[in-house]
Amino acid sequence: MNRLTLLEALFERAADGLLITDREGIILSANPAFWMLFGIPRATTQVST
């Protein structure tokens, strides 16, 4: 397993809610725990790709 794959798996499976934003506060990525913790349906939130 390469390092990037390992980090992606860690991000997706973390029990803590993790959120990555750019300097303007635009959400770039969030893990499933974040959406569940804050009760925000992911489908209703725009995430930049």
Please give the single-letter amino acid code of residue 16.
D
Residues recorded for the chain: 49
User: What does the mean pLDDT of the chain come to?
Assistant: 88
pTM of this prediction?
A: 0.74
Asked if the model's pLDDT at residue 6 lies above 80, the reply is: yes
Tens-digit pLDDT profile for residues 27-45: 899 999 999 999 988 766 6
Task: Please count the CA atoms within 13 angstroms of the CA of 48 that sit on its side-chain side.
Answer: 10
pLDDT at 47: 63
Domains in the chain: boundaries: 3-44
pLDDT at 48: 60
Asked if the model's pLDDT at residue 49 lies above 60, the reply is: no
